Amino acid sequence: MNNPTYRKASLVLEDGSIFEGKSFGFEASVAGEIVFNTAMTGYPESLTDPSYRGQIIVLTYPSIGNYGVPANTKQHELSEFFESDQIHAKGLIISDYSESYNHWNAAKSLGDWLKEEKIPALFGIDTRMLTKHIRNHGCMLAKIIFDEDLSFDDPGLRNLVSEVSTSEKIVYGQGKMKIMLVDCGVKNNIIRYLLQYDTTVIRVAWDYRFQDEEFDGLFISNGPGDPVQCRQTIDNLKEALKKEYPIFGICLGHQLLAIASGATTYKLKFGHRSHNQPVIQVGTPHAYLTSQNHGYAVDNASIPPEWNAYFTNLNDNSNEGLQHKDKPWFTTQFHPEASSGPTDTSFLFGEFIGAIERYKGKKVLWE
Amino acid sequence: MEKINKVLVLGSGALKIGEAGEFDYSGSQALKALKEEGITTVLINPNIATVQTSEEIADIIYYLPVTAFFVEKIIEKEKPEGILLAFGGQTALNCGIELFQTGILNKYNLKVLGTPVEAIIETEDREKFANLLHGIQIKTPKSIAVTTIEDALKASETIGFPMIVRAAFTLGGQGSGFCNSMQELRQLSEKAFSYSSQVLVEESLKGWKEVEYEVVRDQYDNCLTVCNMENFDPLGIHTGESIVVAPSQTLTNSEYHKLRKISIEIVKRVGIIGECNVQYALDPHSEDYRVIEVNARLSRSSALASKATGYPLAFVAAKLGLGYGLHELKNSVTKTTPAFFEPALDYLVVKIPRWDLNKFHGVSKEIGSSMKSVGEVMAIGRSFEECIQKGLRMIGSGMHGFAANKELVVDDIESSLSNPTDTRIFVIGQAFKEGWTVEQVYEKTRIDRWFLAKLMHIHQLEMELTQFEGTNSLPPDLLKEAKKSGFSDFQLVRLLFKSETMGRNDNDIMKIREFRKKLGVVPYVKQIDTLAAEYPAATNYLYLTYHGAEHDIVFENDNRSVIVLGSGAYRIGSSVEFDWSGVNALQTIEKSGYRSVMINYNPETVSTDYDVCNRLYFDELSLERVMDIAELENPFGVIVSTGGQIPNNLAMRLYNQNIKLLGTSALSIDRAENRYKFSEMLDKIGVDQPKWKELTDMQGIFEFTEEVGYPVLIRPSYVLSGAAMNIVSNKSELQYFLDLATLVSKQYPVVVSKFMTDTKEIEMDAVADKGNIILYAISEHIEFAGVHSGDATIMFPPQKVYVETIRRIKKISRQIAEELQISGPFNIQFLAKDNDIKVIECNLRASRSLPFVSKVLKTNFIDYATRIMLGQKVEKPNKSLFDIDYIGVKAPQFSFSRLSKADPVLGVDMASTGEVGCLGDDYYEAILKAMLSVGYRIPKKNILISSGPMRSKTELIISANYLATNGYQLYATKGTHLFFQENNIPSILVNWPDVKESPNAYDLIRQRQIDLVINIPKDLSEEELDNDYTIRRAAVDFNVPLITNARLASAFIYAISKYTMDDLKIKSWGEY
């Protein structure tokens, strides 16, 4: 087993910086927005997370590929080990690539998978230097260049959600509680969590007019890009906010519900993308570690009077969730479904289900 | 939060296998955390060489044993309000449990800060704990707790072989092991029951991955895991014996977080406040797991986790004990973000144990479920290859990394792979060389293929490099990849220039260095910032890597950096004392207005805490790396005299590369280190030394020995097995020893020196300024020469030395200091018989005894030495050793109980793993306190004596008489019994172990009828009668105190005849 030779390629940033690396993925030039993630595990989950749509991910953990990539086996029609059925990231930048891998569930190497999915990836780059650069100058456009150059491409200008959302209505499970799930780029693990309860999950497209249908709880998923691109979703939510049923939004879902309620969002300098974001439940001494992946945040100052901040980020005090003062509506900026990342806040799914149960109980009374 | 004003902290006592320097680190951190709150701290720890037992760390310090007896007396006297039990290892924890169970904590209304004792007790009883975990659906290995051997045998029916047998309530795996048959099970159980009344028989999970998590919880139920760690070796090898990597490398996100979640569930259920370690076995073929151990206290792993992540676990745990929430504390690296976070690493670390098994007679080299290593190193890098190669150099066992080592002779690779020893990783290297594949090595070792593939990668690079001749045609990309994979310049010299002798000369290394620098292949300095660069952090915690393109820090080039070289891995002969010296040098450097810079790689130390210096390079102490750093720092100078032998050995090499050293010139260091140059110098100034000669053939050895007369001390330079040094008393012993253990040739000469019997050994520790002695301390060994100074019991000030002897020693020391123009610390060892003084050794560096004499004299020798080295004018202190009206005694701590089958006898090679130093109003009080501190107990009734040669028999007459008159029952083996009879000392005759008649010495020990064993070896040679060995080993295995030196035995007996436990004064250091 001789060391394979790797083709050289460069990473070019919007500000003109160039980093030389070696290719271990698909060999074609590509452009997107560059972001860094400080998680130490979970590259298959991150790469298939629809929220990374259009982005070139820099992983700060240096040794990547160690445990290979699992086969795309399915359970309840959902991919067992991935967060969606394809890689959404535009490219991958790491320090040290582990061509040899070993794990009981591995089916192929990371490099082979990236080649299959036509995703370019470079290693041999000082990812710490690159991360500091992004931290200091903010997220920026970038491109991976092999032979042919191409122009920068700002994914923020597109409606990325429309690219990752489901094209048809899919129903999972046959439980008593009917949950309408607005798919803005939903991660599989959210559906897996919801299906752990006595639920039927109805997954619909981001712009689907769900208002006219019968269900017991509304869920707004995570997804990529700038929330203001999802006009239709926001409009639909404005109508939903006139109803009584429980609503739970995660990440982009949180931002969309916030905008629908009258709050505003802004773009963070370099986003939160890691497994170690500390949040505190406002008004309590209870702190949790969370998995995050977002570039936009809800402006604390814009939170409407009928809502409370539910969680706050302990590092930078940015908003991490909202809770309605009267209605069973709450949201989180972080990912309680983890995958990848810590599972400390998975109890929030239980709270959503509890709210649905109470709502259904009341509904019976009303009827 | 309730205000607490005074807190008692229990230390861990002397360093021993399984409980070492990591607790100096954790205790020091805890004390700093309390001090910051304005709390008065009272520390009990007889380990006088530690940093924590320094005045700037703790307010009130007791150099007394960490036992319930003494702790209660201190509580009564000091009236603290709170107590910390979790920072002094198992010693402190066990003591705390005893204080709780005997109602002492309650009696004095003493609040345990941190995890409640009830919770600790729950985690310590394996059966109760397993039930508790089962109650929350957490899996543990199938296990049956038994209290009799019969039940242990019966349990095998339920569990099935192979099984593991463990004694409950013991330090790191004592009395534990694997067994494959009923017979082995019976043997193991017997041993386990000698340690504990409860023994566990468990399913074996051999081959499973071993993973651990360090978890923190506060009183608000907030939890986090600071990091996880994965053992390179699969389960079956104690985590202290295993190569460990952090974070885990072969776990998927799902596995990582599944185990993380379980860890948090456990600490919540137990109710930990502070820190807890959870160890798992993880099935390599599924996500199945078992919880195999929980430590509800700071541990070796938590120290490693702190160093691996930069998260100050012990500091935070102490604050949580006071009632803080994690979200209320700051991350001490970023200083802006909270302590409630989990470090994100953008590097990896590899820990490698350091063994010293060569130092012991009879011990097995195999490693397994109990701990034998004496120290460890941590290597930081940005690839596994880079880390493992750095680490293998750091352990200092003569290896240059994974590759380019001298040929390892392995008789049977297959069996060496299946039965791991201290050289297992090098056996893997040899296997690759002989054509083994990753898969084949995996089959024999069950080490995860990922790790093996990484090692294979290094091996392949080695093969590729050897295809080139010199640097001319070497492709730059290959050079870069080699450096990224941890190859040192030395390894490259070896591989590129082929010749065995290449690399002996630093010029060859410099050629490679210049070559790669021209190509721009240089290492970069990176910060450990806990957040993988997500937030800016002004951290001074640094390492170097070839996986980089920019430095994280800006170098001032202001000539104000002073670099202190640390002491590397703890090993026999070099441990916490050099950490103390290094830390004190750093303090003086900073106080003097310089930038203090430390280079060291030992995760068990205080000197590798980033808050003790202005800049910490957690990296190699090699010529290459020190030069890398010196070139970047452009320092005012480098201090090589406070870190023991490693920096000392670098002095001349650094000097030759024009690195500016502070203090005594490297040329002088060389004159003291080089045997010939040193002799020549002593002759020149008219100082005597024992006759010696370096010889290259047997004939010459015999001739020289005849000339000087027996006994002689033999020091071979190449050793096949057994100890490196020995004393021989006659020709047949000499022949035997040389045949057995050594090669004699021009390449491997043997040094023979005259050995002097019945001779005192005296040490001079001093600090000089340009050859003029500024301060000194003379101390005296209790044992006669022949016991290594590190194993000797030492008193200071000297009590039984002629004034004339002292006068001469001072004179000789002045002459040597003057001749070598010493500026800084030094130590000279003398032999004194009547008033005849000989010099045996001189080290121009801080010695092992320096913290001891500094603390007894209350004069910090390192502070003086450092100021001198910085070029400051220093006044001689007023105080001298004649001014103090109390005595200090330093006693060695042995770890023979950990080293199965090792002969617990003392000789010219050092065997102790640690030491204590205690103070007393007189010699006997001090020695009794010191010996109690290293585990001796005042015997209740029965003492077994084998008094050895006539010299020691005579030595023991008076003391044996004391014992008899004080109501002790003496048991004696034949010769001793007869001798006692002649001298009218009553004793019961006991048969030697090989005589199958009772009373039999072995049986008496095993049945725990003996409270103290005094067994003096017949002579100091290799050939020791099996019977004596059996008695000594039985004493160790059945935990009966053992003394093997007649002079020490006498001293101890005098002391117990004079004092009872209650007579011993409870006086803090400050009260002397």
Using a CB-CB distance cutoff of 8 angstroms, which residues of chain A are in contact with residue B446? Answer: none
Structure tokens given for B502: 């290449």
The amino acid that residue B210 corresponds to is: E
Contact criterion met (CB below 8 Å) for B783 and B889: no
Using a CB-CB distance cutoff of 8 angstroms, which residues of chain A are in contact with residue B222? Answer: 285-288
pLDDT at B1023 over 60: no
Check if A274 contacts B (Cβ < 8 Å): yes
Using a CB-CB distance cutoff of 8 angstroms, which residues of chain B are in contact with residue A274? Answer: 344, 532, 534
User: What phi and psi, each to the nearest 5 degrees, are found at residue B1022?
Assistant: -65, -40
| CB count in 10 Å sphere of residue B263 | 27
Q: Which are the contacts of B607, defined by CB distance < 8 A and separation ≥ 6? A: B564, B566, B567, B579, B582, B583, B586, B598, B600, B613
The CATH number that applies at residue B399 is: 1.10.1030.10
Mapped onto helix, strand or coil, the DSSP state of residue B565 is: strand
Check if A338 contacts B (Cβ < 8 Å): yes
Over residues A77-133, the pLDDT tens digits come to: 899 999 999 999 999 999 999 999 999 999 999 999 999 999 999 999 999 999 999
Task: Band the pLDDT of B719: cuts 50, 70, 90.
Answer: low
E strand or H helix at A290: strand A287-298
* Integer CA distances (angstroms), B936 to B889, B891, B922, B1045, in order: 15, 11, 19, 14
Give strand pairing partners of B691. Answer: none
Dmax over Cα atoms in chain A, in whole Å?
73
CB contact (8 A) between residue B337 and residue A274 = no
User: What pLDDT score does B1034 carry?
Assistant: 93
CB contact (8 A) between residue B457 and residue A100 = yes
Among 3.40.50.2300, 3.50.30.20, 3.40.640.10, 1.10.1140.10, name the CATH number for the domain at A8-157.
3.50.30.20
pLDDT at A141 over 60: yes
Contact criterion met (CB below 8 Å) for B444 and B414: yes
CB contact (8 A) between residue A128 and residue B548 = yes
**Torsion over CA: B65, B71, B77, B78 (sign):** positive
Do B357 and B373 sit in the same domain of this protein? yes
Mapped onto helix, strand or coil, the DSSP state of residue B877 is: coil
Do B172 and B81 sit in the same domain of this protein? no
Of B284, B342, B533, which has the smallest distance from its Cβ to A289's Cβ?
Answer: B342
Q: Which are the contacts of B85, defined by CB distance < 8 A and separation ≥ 6? A: B10, B92, B93, B95, B96, B112, B114, B117, B120, B297
List A45, A83, A320, A337, catalytic entry: A337
Residues 404-443 of B with CB under 8 A from A: 438
Q: Tokens 């004092």 — which residue?
A: B1059
Using a CB-CB distance cutoff of 8 angstroms, which residues of chain A are in contact with residue B549? Answer: 19, 126, 129
Over residues B124-156, the pLDDT tens digits come to: 887 789 999 999 999 998 888 899 999 999 999
The CATH number that applies at residue B239 is: 3.30.470.20
Write the secondary structure of B914-980 as one string of H (helix), E (strand) and C (coil). EEEEEEECCHHHHHHHHHHHCCCCCCCCEEEEECCCHHHHHHHHHHHHHHHHCCCEEEECHHHHHHH
**How many beta-carbon contacts under 8 Å exist across A and B?**
176
Using a CB-CB distance cutoff of 8 angstroms, which residues of chain A are in contact with residue B249? Answer: 63, 66
| Residue B445 belongs to domain spanning | 350-518
Does residue B1072 belong to any structural domain of this protein? Answer: no
Query: Is A335 a known active-site residue?
Result: yes
Contact criterion met (CB below 8 Å) for B920 and B805: no
CB contact (8 A) between residue B450 and residue A339 = no
B316-B318-B324 Cα angle (round to 5) = 70
Of B327, B345, B363, which one is at a domain's C-terminal end? B345
Structure tokens given for A119: 């995703």
C-alpha count within 13 angstroms, C-beta hemisphere, residue B935: 21
Contact criterion met (CB below 8 Å) for B214 and B313: yes
Does residue B555 belong to any structural domain of this protein? Answer: yes
Do B214 and B335 sit in the same domain of this protein? yes
Do B567 and B654 sit in the same domain of this protein? yes
Q: Taking CA atoms, what residue in B is nearest to A312? A: B327
CB contact (8 A) between residue B344 and residue A314 = no
Residues 57-76 of A with CB under 8 A from B: 60-63, 66-67
Contact criterion met (CB below 8 Å) for B563 and B34: no
B992-B998-B1000 Cα angle (round to 5) = 30
User: What pLDDT score does B1019 carry?
Assistant: 61
d(CA A348, CA A248) in angstroms, rounded, equals: 9
d(CA B215, CA B228) in angstroms, rounded, equals: 9
Do B146 and B241 sit in the same domain of this protein? no
pLDDT at B696 over 80: yes
Do B483 and B400 sit in the same domain of this protein? yes
Give strand pairing partners of B348. Answer: B381
The CATH number that applies at residue B26 is: 3.40.50.20
User: What pLDDT score does B500 carry?
Assistant: 61
pLDDT at A71 over 60: yes
List A45, A139, A251, A275, catalytic entry: A251
Of B261, B533, B547, which has the smallest distance from its Cβ to A96's Cβ?
Answer: B547
Using a CB-CB distance cutoff of 8 angstroms, which residues of chain A are in contact with residue B325? Answer: 285, 287
Of B222, B345, B450, which has the smallest distance from its Cβ to A102's Cβ?
Answer: B450
Which segments of chain A belong to CATH 3.40.50.880?
Answer: 160-366
| CB count in 10 Å sphere of residue B505 | 10
Q: What is the mean pLDDT of chain B?
A: 93
Q: Taking CA atoms, what residue in B is nearest to A133? A: B533
Q: How many residues does chain A have?
A: 367
Structure tokens given for B74: 């201190």
Provide the number of structural domains found in chain B: 8
Among A259, A260, A251, A174, smallest CA distance to A220 is for: A251
CB contact (8 A) between residue A126 and residue B547 = yes
The fraction of chain B above a pLDDT of 70, given in percent, is 97
pLDDT at B723 over 60: no
Check if B840 contacts A (Cβ < 8 Å): no
CB contact (8 A) between residue B257 and residue A338 = yes
Over residues B867-891, the pLDDT tens digits come to: 999 999 999 988 776 679 999 999 9
Q: Is B909 exposed, middle or buried (0-12, 13-18, 19+ CB in 10 A)?
A: buried
Which of A63, A277, A281, A334 would best serve as a mutation to test chain B binding (most B beta carbons within 10 A)? A63
Contact criterion met (CB below 8 Å) for B451 and B384: yes
Long-range Cβ contact pairs of B974-981 (< 8 A, separation 24 or more): B975/B946, B975/B947, B976/B945, B976/B946, B976/B947, B979/B947, B979/B953
Of B286, B532, B534, which has the smallest distance from its Cβ to A104's Cβ?
Answer: B286
Of B731, B754, B777, which one is at a domain's C-terminal end? B754
Over residues A215-256, the pLDDT tens digits come to: 999 999 999 999 999 999 999 999 999 999 999 999 999 999
The DSSP letter of residue B56 is T
Query: Is A324 a known active-site residue?
Result: no
Task: Band the pLDDT of B170: cuts 50, 70, 90.
Answer: low
Over residues B193-233, the pLDDT tens digits come to: 887 888 989 888 889 999 999 999 999 999 999 999 999 99
Structure tokens given for B400: 């240059």
Q: Report DSSP letters for B993-1015, one per residue.
A: TTS-SSSBHHHHHHTT--SEEEE
Q: Taking CA atoms, what residue in B is nearest to A136? A: B536
Using a CB-CB distance cutoff of 8 angstroms, which residues of chain B are in contact with residue A66? Answer: 249-250, 450
Check if B475 contacts A (Cβ < 8 Å): no
Q: What average pLDDT does range B112-123 have in this prediction?
A: 95
Long-range Cβ contact pairs of B56-60 (< 8 A, separation 24 or more): B56/B587, B57/B28, B57/B31, B57/B32, B58/B9, B58/B31, B59/B35, B60/B1068, B60/B1069, B60/B1070
Calculate Rg over the CA atoms of chain A.
Answer: 21
Check if A2 contacts B (Cβ < 8 Å): yes
Over residues A164-223, the pLDDT tens digits come to: 999 999 999 999 999 999 999 999 999 999 999 999 999 999 999 999 899 999 999 999
Over residues B792-825, the pLDDT tens digits come to: 999 999 999 999 999 999 999 999 999 999 999 9
The domain made up of A160-366 has a fold known as Rossmann fold (3.40.50)
Query: What share of residues in chain B are helix, strand, coil (percent, to 5)?
Result: 40, 20, 40
Do B556 and B609 sit in the same domain of this protein? yes
Do B199 and B209 sit in the same domain of this protein? no
d(CA A134, CA A128) in angstroms, rounded, equals: 10
d(CA B1064, CA B928) in angstroms, rounded, equals: 8
Q: What average pLDDT does range B559-582 have in this prediction?
A: 96
CB contact (8 A) between residue A63 and residue B260 = no
C-alpha count within 13 angstroms, C-beta hemisphere, residue B411: 2
Over residues B450-479, the pLDDT tens digits come to: 999 999 999 999 999 999 998 889 999 999
Which segments of chain A belong to CATH 3.50.30.20?
Answer: 8-157
Task: Band the pLDDT of B173: cuts 50, 70, 90.
Answer: low
Look at B739 and B1072; give whichever has higher pLDDT: B1072
d(CA A113, CA A116) in angstroms, rounded, equals: 5
The CATH number that applies at residue B737 is: 3.30.1490.20
User: What pLDDT score does B735 carry?
Assistant: 84
Mapped onto helix, strand or coil, the DSSP state of residue B178 is: strand
Query: Is A163 a known active-site residue?
Result: no
The amino acid that residue A262 corresponds to is: G
Does residue B483 belong to any structural domain of this protein? Answer: yes
User: What pLDDT score does B192 carry?
Assistant: 87
Q: What average pLDDT does range B764-772 have in this prediction?
A: 97
Using a CB-CB distance cutoff of 8 angstroms, which residues of chain B are in contact with residue A60? Answer: 344, 346, 532-534
Check if B457 contacts A (Cβ < 8 Å): yes
pLDDT at B722 over 90: no
User: What pLDDT score does B907 carry?
Assistant: 80
